[in-house]
Amino acid sequence: MCCGNSILQKGPPFFYLHKIFYTLHLEAEKKMAEASEYFVKGHHAHTSLIQKEAAGEKVELSLIIMHAEDQLMSTETTKLLIEEMIEMFKQLNNK
């Protein structure tokens, strides 16, 4: 299933962000790294489909594939924002 692992990781980053508010930076960073591993797997599945189509192989477009693409992009955006927030919270707590 394309991007399936990425879809599963969409919710947990918000849980990790909540933990940051209580200064659990190390655990939050560890869990974000774990979430990143799932994202990379989803990204590889996505890239594989793109490469197949670029090589001339017919890749059937379906609602599930479109949804997976949307979830992958949404997850990437969320992940990047939360990573920035982790850094901001770390800087605020060091002052």
Q: Which residues are catalytic?
A: 67
By the 10 Å C-beta count (0-12 exposed, 13-18 middle, 19+ buried), 84 is classed as exposed
- Residue 34 has φ and ψ, to the nearest 5°, of -65, -45
User: Quick one: how far is CA 37 from the chain centroid?
Assistant: 9
